[in-house]
Chain A
Amino acid sequence: MADNTFDIIIIGGGPGGYVAAIRAAQLGFKTAVVEREHLGGICSNWGCIPTKALLRSAEIFTYFGHAKDYGLMAEKFGFDIAAIIKRSRGIAGQMNSGVQFLFKKNKITTIWGDAKITKPGEIAVTAPTKGVLGPPVEGPKGALGAGTYKAAHIIVATGARPRVLPGLEPDKKQVWTYFEAMNPDKFPKSLLVVGSGAIGVEFASFYRALGAEVTIVELLPQILPVEDAEIAAFARKQFEKQGIKIITGAKVTKLDKKADSVTATIDVGGKAEMITAEKVISAVGVVGNIENIGLEAAGVKTDKGIVVTDGYGRTNVKGIYAIGDVAGPPMLAHKAEHEGVTTVEMIKGLKVHALDKAKVPGCTYCNPQIASVGLTETKAKEQGRQVKIGRFPFIGNGKAIALGEPEGLCKTIFDAKTGELLGAHLAGAEVTELIQGFVVAMNCETTEEELMHTIFPHPTLSETMKESVLDAYGRVLNM
């Protein structure tokens, strides 16, 4: 095979792309990844990981504030935003070189530059023209550069970028996207967060924990719109207790920028309200990177900013596949990774299953953490399901009380007829680590019976999961 010819070329080195590449290499494919600014993608560099690093600093800071509750003394404590950011960026860098190492280990070729599909089976790569922070970033050692490359299979994994709403255009200075919010020059005293999805509430939690005045504006009547209404209401109460101001059913209609503040006009059910803050974070969602990569010319079907695929990553054009954020919601790293593996295995001819979106968990690392999988109560009822619902509050859990984290809720939804676990929704300490138990249960198609037969270790927060299941069947023990 010529040096510029591969079995599989993947455009984009995010969690979708890099994991697909490793799986492809494992299966014996000659594999290349084209990346233009950061191996590891948004997730490692500007998403999941660096935000979790920031939130960890905020969490420990919050503990300091409650030291007395634990019999500890921490009378003088503070934070250095520059150091917090430095830690976060350092961790992002560590992730990035981790991917480089994995590529080397698996003999995956990196091609550095902007890729564009010229026709099915062929791409053109040009040197990158810019990076997130301005100037283009240099590629890792040994990466190939600009040129034409061929592969029978081209996987598009170009990810997503912040959605821009008219009137709310980010300007890097006062109106931020997650890029600036993750990397501020100085700590803002007040902040207006537009949008209450995962990204919005995570930044709200982070900045509030460190003392900023934070207001969240959400268009829909519920914050965390994809979550179960009961969990979202629970989270809202906790946020408000922490001093976050939340306005739902509201729309930002205008931004007036002054030298060191922005005044937003907000339409709340027909009434105008003004909110002034030092910075605005626009967190109104993301859109797929479908432009300028040759999709139109190749005839690849797209719809509302994402590439249309068939559940196995196949597009309508033979030999062109799409995975991850660019292939549509849920726009989460683990969904991207899973699609990457499925698509490559399908190309290999292995037995694979189409993505089941109902079994993709979602985690939000605000305080309290939110984690869920499957149908919300509303959705389950909309589908005409007869349901049995269990709830268990953390206050009934010994470990939660010992941790000093008695605020939490575990809610489970079962099909009343078959005992199928339809959904699980959690809020509280460490629930992002708990949810996988329910995800495994769902994938193994357990019913309530096996969950009740399972012994959950004591004392752990996971006992709330079992109690919630018991509650759904009227057998709760510790309430």
Chain B
Amino acid sequence: MPINILMPALSPTMEQGNLVKWLKKEGDKVKAGDVIAEIETDKATMEVEAVDEGTLGKILVAEGTNDVAVNKPIAVLFEEGEDASAVSAAPAEQPKTAAAPEAKKEEPKKEEPKVEAAKAEPAKPAPVAAPVPAPKANGAGVKVFASPLARRIAKERGVNLSAIAGSGPHGRIVKKDVESARPGAGAPAAAGGGAFGLPLMPDDQIRALFEPGSYDVVPHDGMRRTIATRMQQSMIVVPHFFLAVDFEVDALLKLREEMNSYAPKEDGKPVWRVSVNDLIVKAFALTLKKHPNANASWTEGGMLRHHNVDIGIAVAIPGGGLITPILRNAQDKPLPELAQESSNLAKRARDKKLKPHEYQGGTAAISNLGMYGVKHFTAIVNPPHSTILAVAASEKRPVVVGDKIEIRTMMTATLSCDHRVVDGADAANIMQTLKGFVEKPVGLVM
């Protein structure tokens, strides 16, 4: 009867590994003890030995496959006289975990649990362990196995069970798993998305990778937790796509200079100063006004199409963290007013003095790393926004104008979109409109 070769566990904690390489091809004869494949865990690469004799009949998991669950069949071994026609009938009743590598001679010095190259386990039917289920997004119809106590604690703490991996029998979620998911890590479903709290690896496993004493444990503050949760939520829930466009900003810079020269003065100091960012905010706001289907938030019940364009501006906070105060009705505000408001918000953001209504909500956002000389980057959409514009540095570049090379001041901006709200062509159109406003900035002041 064909024998299933299963993904072996190299350590008691291993739940999945990567199949790096097959060292035998389909059709190759193998003997017990032959190295047939290489697998890799987070800790090491190790060889997989055959525990039976036969022909490698069928490879079920291709090399280069990552995160193969322990005990998942990775290949089928034929005994003498069998061939591929038996594969479809290959029963799961005779699984054999491939022997883990000869550990005896190496006498490892590490404190790792050693894996024994045992003789084949007597061919008694061992149940194929259900592959450890991968964490699932908050999809409808996905049955989550969790102990009653785990469910109770998850409910109390607002942890989404479908987002955590279970360590109990057959991948069942038990109390310990929920507790290590940390309160708050899986905030209950927020507008526009599922809820998350996805521990990639338990804390103690991560710590075990480093020498004790070689690091300090800095407790997370509320802002760090919020950033972690929201960004993780967004990257998992929001289908992102990105498009980058170069803008010529010489006209914009000139406009800025002229405007600022008209700024009224108090005590010899200008009352307002329009920054490049303010101009981009205004341009982006006017753009979204023209593309109302992108000035929207995804909800399960329907698209929220917003009447105003409220733009969040990402402000880095000294000592770490960031927050996005919102410039509301940016489309309607004259630039001097916008400039004053944004510098006021940014200052209070840096002092951590914002009130919740000043940073909650918004319909889109801008992140500007131009002052750091960044050439190009992408940002993560922060729902309920459906877009975020990543603005890089303005710099002089050689540009082909007609048939000549000229020096122009250029800036690359990259739009990240929530594909549930915005489609590719819409996004391209948005960038086209934006390019118009930026390169012919007179529209910003009319």
The residues of A with any CB-CB pair to B shorter than 8 Å are 7, 26-30, 152-153, 312, 314, 318-319, 346-352, 417-420, 444-447, 449-450
Contact = CB atoms under 8 A, between A and B. Distances in A.
B153 A349 contact: no
A59 B374 CA distance: 86
Interface in B1-53: 8-15
B90 to A, nearest CB: 22
Given A346-B12, A349-B100, A28 B118 contact: yes
Given A152-B116, A418-B156, A349 B10 contact: yes
A31 to B, nearest CB: 11
Contacts of A153: 116
A347 B115 CA distance: 6
B149 A446 contact: yes
B114 A318 contact: yes
Given A28-B119, A28-B121, A153-B116, A445 B10 contact: no
A419 B9 contact: no
Interface string B134-159: 00000000000001111011001000
B175 interface: yes
Contacts of B149: 418-420, 445-447
Interface string B103-114: 010011100011
6 contacts: A30-B119, A318-B114, A349-B9, A349-B116, A351-B13, A447-B148
Interface residues of B, number: 34
Contacts of B9: 349-351
Contact of B12 (A30, A319, A351, A445): A351
Q: What are the 7 tightest A-B residue pairs by CB atom distance, in nearest-first order? A: A445-B147, A445-B149, A349-B115, A28-B121, A28-B119, A28-B118, A447-B148
A212 B100 CA distance: 61
Contacts of B122: 26, 28
B114 A348 contact: no
B60 to A, nearest CB: 21
B120 interface: yes
A418 B152 contact: yes
A7 B122 CA distance: 15
Given A349-B9, A352-B12, A418 B114 contact: no
A28 B119 CA distance: 6
B114 to A, nearest CB: 7
A349 B121 contact: no
B70 interface: yes
B164 to A, nearest CB: 15
A447 B116 contact: no
A209 B122 CA distance: 50
Contacts of A152: 104, 114, 116
B174 interface: yes
Given A312-B12, A348-B115, A446-B148, 5 more contacts: A28-B118, A28-B119, A349-B9, A351-B13, A447-B152
Contacts of A318: 107-109, 114
Nearest to B151: A447
Contacts of B119: 28-30
Contacts of A27: 118, 121
A445 B150 contact: yes
B116 A29 contact: yes
Contacts of B13: 351
Contacts of A351: 9, 12-15, 70, 129
B32 to A, nearest CB: 12
Contact of B175 (A29, A30, A417, A420): A420
A420 B70 CA distance: 31
Contacts of A7: 116, 118
Given A346-B12, A420-B175, A446-B148, A312 B113 contact: yes
A314 B113 contact: yes
B113 A346 contact: yes
A447 B155 CA distance: 13
Contact of A349 (B113, B129, B148, B150): B113
B148 A347 contact: no
Contacts of B12: 312, 346, 349-352
A126 B114 CA distance: 29
A322 B14 CA distance: 23
Given A312-B113, A350-B9, A417 B156 contact: yes
B4 to A, nearest CB: 17
A347 B118 CA distance: 10
B75 to A, nearest CB: 19
Contacts of B109: 318
Interface centre among A152, A312, A314 (most CB of B within 10 A): A152
A457 B152 CA distance: 27
A444 B147 contact: yes
A349 B9 CA distance: 6
Interface in B55-109: 70, 97, 100, 104, 107-109
B167 to A, nearest CB: 8
Nearest to B153: A418
B124 to A, nearest CB: 8
Given A27-B121, A28-B121, A348 B148 contact: no
B333 to A, nearest CB: 49
Nearest to B9: A349
A420 B147 CA distance: 11
A347 B156 contact: no
A418 B157 CA distance: 11
Most buried by A among B100, B108, B114, B148: B148
B121 A449 contact: no
Contacts of A26: 121-122
A32 B235 CA distance: 54
Contacts of A352: 12
A80 to B, nearest CB: 48
B108 to A, nearest CB: 8
Interface string B337-378: 000000000000000000000000000000000000000000
Contacts of B10: 349
Contacts of B104: 152
Contacts of A28: 118-122
B8, B104, B108, B114 — which one has the most chain A CB atoms within 10 A of its CB?
B114
Contact of B118 (A29, A418, A419): A29
Nearest to A421: B149
A210 B96 CA distance: 57
A417 B114 CA distance: 41
Contact of A446 (B14, B107, B147): B147
A28 B12 CA distance: 18
B116 A347 contact: yes
A477 B295 CA distance: 61
Given A312-B113, A349-B9, A419-B152, A445 B174 contact: yes
Residue of A30, A352, A444 contacting most chain B CB atoms (<10 Å): A444
A270 B104 CA distance: 61
Q: Which residue, of B12, B100, B150, has the highest number of chain A Cβ atoms within 10 A?
A: B12
Contact of B148 (A29, A346, A350, A449): A449
A349 B8 contact: yes
Contact of B114 (A347, A445, A447): A347
A450 B148 CA distance: 8
B205 to A, nearest CB: 14
Nearest to B132: A351
A417 B129 CA distance: 34
Contacts of B174: 445
A29 B15 CA distance: 23
Contacts of B118: 7, 27-29, 348
B50 to A, nearest CB: 14
A317 to B, nearest CB: 11
Nearest to A1: B119
Contacts of B14: 351
